[in-house]
């Protein structure tokens, strides 16, 4: 059984597509767009259309393709290229139709509290029901589910991948915004939105934390993300592409400096962010001169290629069967499994493993892993489990079942008693970037196994989130911002999973730091006939003291005009540009750098000159 997951929706107007008249029915007729009624739980009051190619593979991939505000599923079917690609590569396309409104009609809900909560209701739950329907009716492959969309649908794409990372393999967001960009329905219309008003600027850490908090405790592989934006988009500003890049690179723990850049087509600038193994986890396209008009011809093909679906019909060879799993560290609620790796046989690459429990005619999934081990949690105490592992490749082929392993979780003895709250929480040794915490140990009838350290910003308000864990009664928190107030609490956990009340709160304010020298190093991300993007403009603290702000000046060549910038306050005097740090990137420890600042400029056609005279103070 799939764990139900929540999907999130988007904003901003996109072109209105003509509505295609379709017949009601279930299941859909192959190679015909068909509306499905009664597909399952539908709190968003959405409509569902599905396109099933002919011939249909035995276990097809699933692509959810979402329209912009004011559009419809049939309209997006007619106005995009995903159906024709489905005919060629053999995947099923779901075309949802949104019916909600927050300033625009027919927008995917990415603003409400319900939509931002896993299984909270609204449009995300409706979309998950559509996916479940296709898996049941057409034997859709649950390990190859993808999301894409334009404008509001692009926003929902990023939203869904944040709230349901275990459902989706990858996404392609056209003209979208980062997850949790909208504060509520009143923040949605572009005319009054802080998100799309052109001034949205959060740190990569803040953006990444928003995704991680959408599904607390998720430890599986994250879905890969492809991002598209036009440099002349004024409805959903181009600067939001940088914010989305910051969010998803932070989620993957990657640098915001691309590992490679290229120009796959004229006026397309592509930046790729790969992990140490060389896998591209985040990919961003800047379409020079394009407004709010994506996707354009050929772009859907690049999205499907990013999903890995362009090779799905040629690779039909499954991986080899994994080795017999071995269970260890078995507790009342968890167990660790390890096994010998499978080998890919068809050329599409080994994508990961799925763990199943033998349980009658339907074996439920217990989890997925990208490696040859997994920590299973949420198990029932004093219960026997017989589990096995299957490998899957990039084309969705599944290996045979491994031999099973049987283990029994520990009995808890009915332990439902939480540890006592930690006492005496105190902070010491606070610097500009860190502080040390100590407390008195909690007590418990079965023994305390560790402590969770919670942190909240500011003296009041702000939500406490987990800053780390400790097996002892001390913890050092680092990476804090200078001259900033934080509050801390600690709670204990025992072997049965019981959690104590939180400790008293301790408040600290980091030191202000001192000023020093710095350097500015530009990187040309992309160039085209009459413009260019400098990203990042790396600011490095070259002194031996922490600096709390920086100012960079540089000169634009004659005829060049600054057309956009991000993560700095900009003033110009003639051709001289002055960029000053903002709240989240001004403080740098000795030797530290920030790569968040960048800018875009136009220049006369044929001119190849670039800015010069960079200084930092």
Q: pLDDT-derived band of residue 599, with 50, 70 and 90 as boundaries?
A: confident
Q: Does some domain include residue 316?
A: no
- Predicted pLDDT of residue 157: 98
Q: Does some domain include residue 253?
A: yes
- Predicted pLDDT of residue 13: 32
Q: pLDDT-derived band of residue 18, with 50, 70 and 90 as boundaries?
A: very low
Please spell the DSSP secondary structure of 320-371, one letter per residue.
PPPPPPEEES--SS-EEEE-PPP---SSS-EEEEEEEE--TTS--EEEEESS
- Predicted pLDDT of residue 311: 66
Pair 271, 196 in one domain: yes
Higher pLDDT, 531 or 534: 534
E strands, 429-575, are 435-440, 448-457, 465-470, 474-477, 485-494, 506-509, 518-528, 531-541, 551-555, 561-566, 569-573
Output the pTM of the full model. 0.53
Q: Is the pLDDT of residue 14 over 50?
A: no
Two tokens, residue 151: 């404008």
Q: Is the pLDDT of residue 202 over 80?
A: yes
31: left (phi over 0), alpha (psi -120 to 50) or beta: left
Question: What is the C-alpha radius of gyration for the chain, rounded to an integer number of angstroms?
Answer: 26
Pair 530, 466 in one domain: no
Pair 337, 208 in one domain: no
Q: Does some domain include residue 416?
A: no
How would you list the strands of the sheet with 576-580, edge to edge? Answer: 569-573, 576-580, 551-555, 612-616
Pair 261, 370 in one domain: no
Pair 359, 467 in one domain: no
Q: Does some domain include residue 66?
A: yes
Of 71-75, 299-303, 430-434, the poorest mean pLDDT is in: 430-434
- Predicted pLDDT of residue 510: 80
Q: Which sign does the torsion angle of CA 364, 367, 369, 372 carry?
A: negative
Q: Does some domain include residue 446?
A: yes
Last residue of a domain, one of 484, 510, 536: 510
Pair 80, 180 in one domain: yes
Residue with tokens 């404008």: 151
Please spell the DSSP secondary structure of 162-184, one letter per residue.
HH-TTT-SEEEEES---TT---S
How many domains in the chain?
4
DSSP 8-state code for residue 57:
P
CA gap 431, 539 in Å, rounded: 22
Q: What is the CATH number of the domain that holds 123?
A: 3.40.50.1820
- Predicted pLDDT of residue 329: 84
61 contacts 141 by C-beta, under 8 angstroms: yes
Last residue of a domain, one of 409, 443, 475: 409
DSSP 8-state code for residue 4:
P
Mean pLDDT rounded to a whole number for the chain: 85
DSSP 8-state code for residue 311:
G
Please spell the DSSP secondary structure of 498-514, one letter per residue.
-BPPP---EEEE-----
E strands, 52-136, are 62-66, 92-97
Two tokens, residue 139: 């034997």
CA gap 200, 204 in Å, rounded: 12
328 contacts 335 by C-beta, under 8 angstroms: yes
The C-alpha angle 325, 321, 365, rounded to 5 degrees, equals 60
Pair 270, 363 in one domain: no
Pair 253, 338 in one domain: no
Pair 206, 295 in one domain: yes
CA gap 569, 589 in Å, rounded: 21
Q: What is the CATH number of the domain that holds 341?
A: 2.60.40.10
The residues annotated with a catalytic role in the active site are 151
Pair 361, 224 in one domain: no
The C-alpha angle 512, 515, 516, rounded to 5 degrees, equals 145
Q: Does some domain include residue 24?
A: no
Q: What are phi and psi of 211, to 5 degrees?
A: -70, -45
Q: Does some domain include residue 26?
A: no
Which residues, other chains included, contact 583 with Cβ-Cβ below 8 Å and sequence gap of 6+? none
Range of the domain at 580: 518-616
What is residue 75's three-state secondary structure? helix
Higher pLDDT, 92 or 329: 92
Last residue of a domain, one of 409, 433, 451: 409
Pair 466, 560 in one domain: no
Two tokens, residue 249: 């690179």
Q: Is the pLDDT of residue 258 over 60?
A: yes
Q: Does some domain include residue 582?
A: yes
CA gap 183, 206 in Å, rounded: 14
| CB hemisphere CA count around 505 (13 angstroms) | 14
The C-alpha angle 212, 216, 220, rounded to 5 degrees, equals 75
Residue among 309, 72, 73 at smallest CA distance from 172: 309
Which residues, other chains included, contact 146 with Cβ-Cβ below 8 Å and sequence gap of 6+? 61, 62, 63, 64, 168, 169, 170, 171, 172, 307, 309
Pair 151, 199 in one domain: yes
- Predicted pLDDT of residue 512: 59
């Amino acid at each position: 059984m799939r764990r139900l997951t929540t999907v999130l929706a988007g904003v901003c107007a996109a072109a209105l597509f003509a509505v295609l008249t379709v017949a009601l029915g279930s299941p859909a007729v192959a190679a015909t767009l068909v509306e499905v009624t009664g597909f399952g739980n539908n709190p968003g009051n959405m409509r569902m259309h599905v396109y099933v190619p002919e011939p249909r593979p035995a276990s097809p991939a699933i692509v959810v393709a979402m329209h912009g505000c004011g559009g419809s599923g049939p309209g997006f079917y007619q106005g995009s290229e995903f159906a024709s690609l489905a005919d060629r590569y053999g995947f099923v396309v779901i075309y949802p139709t949104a019916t909600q409104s927050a300033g625009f009609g027919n927008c995917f809900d990415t603003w409400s509290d319900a939509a931002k909560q896993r299984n909270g209701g609204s449009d995300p739950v409706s979309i998950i029901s559509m996916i479940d329907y296709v898996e049941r009716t057409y034997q859709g492959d649950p390990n190859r589910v993808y999301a894409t969309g334009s404008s509001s649908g692009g926003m929902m794409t990023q939203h869904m991948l944040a709230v349901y990372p275990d459902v989706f393999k990858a996404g392609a967001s056209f003209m979208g915004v980062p997850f949790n960009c909208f504060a509520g329905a009143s923040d949605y219309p572009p005319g009054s939105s802080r998100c799309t008003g052109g001034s949205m600027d959060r740190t990569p850490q803040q953006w990444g934390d928003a995704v991680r908090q959408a599904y607390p405790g998720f430890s599986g592989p994250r879905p890969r993300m492809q991002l598209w934006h036009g440099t002349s988009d004024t409805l959903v500003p181009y600067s939001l592409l940088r914010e989305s890049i910051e969010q998803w690179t932070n989620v993957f723990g990657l640098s915001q400096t691309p590992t490679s850049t290229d120009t796959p087509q004229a006026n397309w600038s592509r930046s790729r962010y790969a992990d140490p193994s060389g896998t591209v986890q985040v990919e961003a396209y800047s379409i020079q001169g394009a407004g709010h008009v994506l996707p354009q011809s050929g772009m859907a093909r690049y999205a499907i290629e990013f999903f890995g679906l362009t090779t799905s019909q040629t690779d039909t060879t499954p991986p080899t069967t994994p080795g017999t799993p071995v269970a260890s560290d078995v507790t009342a609620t968890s167990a660790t499994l390890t096994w010998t790796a499978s080998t890919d046989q068809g050329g599409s690459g080994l994508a990961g493993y799925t763990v199943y429990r033998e349980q009658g005619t339907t074996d439920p999934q217990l989890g997925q892993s990208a490696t040859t081990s997994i920590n299973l949690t949420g198990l029932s105490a004093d219960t026997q489990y017989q589990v096995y592992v299957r490998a899957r490749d990039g084309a969705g082929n599944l290996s045979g079942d491994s031999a099973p392993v049987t283990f029994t979780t520990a009995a808890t003895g009915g332990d439902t008693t939480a540890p006592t709250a930690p006492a005496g929480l105190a902070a010491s040794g606070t610097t500009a970037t860190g502080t040390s915490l100590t407390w008195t140990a909690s007590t418990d009838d079965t023994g305390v196994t560790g402590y969770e350290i919670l942190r909240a910003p500011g003296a009041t308000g702000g939500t406490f989130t987990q800053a780390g864990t400790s097996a002892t009664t001390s913890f050092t928190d680092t990476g804090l911002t200078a001259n900033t107030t934080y509050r801390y609490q600690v709670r204990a956990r025992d072997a049965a999973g019981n959690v104590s009340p939180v400790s008293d709160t301790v408040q600290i304010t980091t030191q202000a730091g001192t000023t020093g020298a710095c350097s500015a190093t530009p990187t040309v991300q992309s160039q085209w006939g009459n413009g260019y993007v400098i990203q990042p403009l790396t600011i490095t603290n070259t002194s031996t003291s922490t600096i709390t702000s920086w100012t960079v000046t540089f000169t634009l060549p004659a005829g060049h005009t600054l057309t956009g910038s991000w993560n700095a306050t900009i003033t110009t005097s003639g051709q001289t540009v002055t960029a000053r740090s903002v709240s989240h990137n001004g403080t740098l420890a000795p030797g530290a750098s920030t790569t968040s600042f960048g800018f875009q400029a136009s220049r006369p056609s044929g001119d190849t000159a670039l800015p010069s005279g960079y200084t930092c103070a």
